[in-house]
Structure 1
Amino acid sequence: MALRIKSHWQNEERERSLPEIAGALAFIAWRIAMEKAINLHCERFVYASDEQRLLVIQEYLVFLIQIADRLSHGPLHDEDRRILVTEFARKVFGHVQDNSQDLLGPGDYGGPFIARLNARSDEYAESQFGADGPSYALLRHLGFEIQALMGISQENRWVIDQVMDRDGWDAYKTFARAFRDLFE
């Protein structure tokens, strides 16, 4: 079943600020990342714990933050791009912290997420992103990181292929469409 994303403003006449757009993007990114984590389970890949599932969701969120940065390059001026991506990451941080606390109990979940985001930003910077979307290398890196989180057990040894060939690409397409819709 396809994920339905609401990516049009109710009152399209009203001008939206970059932080408002970032908040909508963060909510959409959370839904996409969660749906992709659920899809891995539906494809018979195995999570050892809820914490592991949340880490996979976070990996997708990091990927989508990188995608937002790449999509905003060109249409937005550098300062607006910085504001959008920073606010987007802050809102995602809030989703990670709140949802992790709800599921796992009190703790600092946002701090490690930001550390992961910073580390991955350097890694993803080496991969290309063209008019057609993320390069094979960018999707492969996402798949590699998710496989590292899930482990190379008998059940999970092909998770990298699932992420590279289907889920990562689907996440990109859904997010890119919503990104464009929110700026119309």
Structure 2
Amino acid sequence: MAIRIKSHWSNAGTGRALPEIAGALAFIAWRIALDKAINLHCERFVYRDDAQRLGVIQEYLAFLIQVADRLAQAQPATADEAPDDAADGPAPDRAARRRLLITALARKLIEHVEDNSADLLGPGDYAQAFITLLNQRSDEYAQYQLDAQGPSYAFLRHLGYEVQGLMGGGQENRWVIDQVMDRDGWDAYRSFAKAFRDLFD
């Protein structure tokens, strides 16, 4: 069952700072990633433990950050958008806006990962491990295309491959890659891309 995502501001017409938009995107990305991790269980794929489930969530978050980065690359500035909380000078150019947005999004997602991992698994350096994952996936996804039609086959296959690797190749999980590539990855992309565009409207 699809999750409902609120992706419109309650007081439309008010300019939003990029960190505020990033915070909303991070919350939406977390909800989508969690939903896709739960869906694998609903489709009768088997998790070994909570750490494995969190690993799948983090793979989806890394995927969605890459989606956000590609969408931001093509996003024009809007007349009422505030570039940051303390900007008094001219608005930053597109590359600077993109950098501000994606950096703020990553920071918020790192907080989500750190808080939820500590709640489920106890104390640990979850932030640094997630940062390492984000850097690695950024290099890997850079090889694949995402255009106006969405992510390429190779882009989605990489997500599926990483989730499959996390969950193992046992009999019960042998079709995870197909589930992610053919359905869940596409659903995650579509939901997040719509929310991204809505938040900038």
Give the TM-score taking structure 1 as reference length: 0.99
CA distance in 2, matches of 1:163, 1:2: 15
Are positions 1:142 and 2:163 aligned together? Answer: no
**Where do 5+ consecutive residues of structure 1 fail to align?**
none
CA distance in 2, matches of 1:27, 1:160: 25
Are positions 1:25 and 2:42 aligned together? Answer: no
Counterpart of 1:63? 63
Counterpart of 1:111? 128
**Where do 5+ consecutive residues of structure 2 fail to align?**
77-93
What is the deviation of 1:13?
Answer: 2.3
Number of equivalenced pairs: 184
The equivalences for 1:1-184 within 5 A come to 1-76=1-76, 77-184=94-201
CA distance in 1, matches of 2:149, 2:13: 30
Partner deviation per Cα, 1:2-43 (whole Å, 9 max, x = no partner): 100000001112110000000000000000000000000000
Moved more, 61-70 or 76-85: 76-85
CA distance in 1, matches of 2:159, 2:175: 13
- Matched to 2:113, the amino acid is V
What is the deviation of 1:75?
Answer: 1.5
What is the deviation of 1:74?
Answer: 2.0
CA distance in 2, matches of 1:93, 1:150: 22
What is the deviation of 1:60?
Answer: 0.1
Partner deviation per Cα, 1:129-164 (whole Å, 9 max, x = no partner): 111010000000000000000000000010000000
CA distance in 2, matches of 1:135, 1:74: 17
Q: Structure 1 segments of 4 or more deviating over 4 A?
A: none
- Matched to 2:118, the amino acid is Q
Please state whether the residue corresponding to 2:173 is helix, strand or coil: coil
What is the deviation of 1:107?
Answer: 1.0
CA distance in 1, matches of 2:72, 2:101: 8
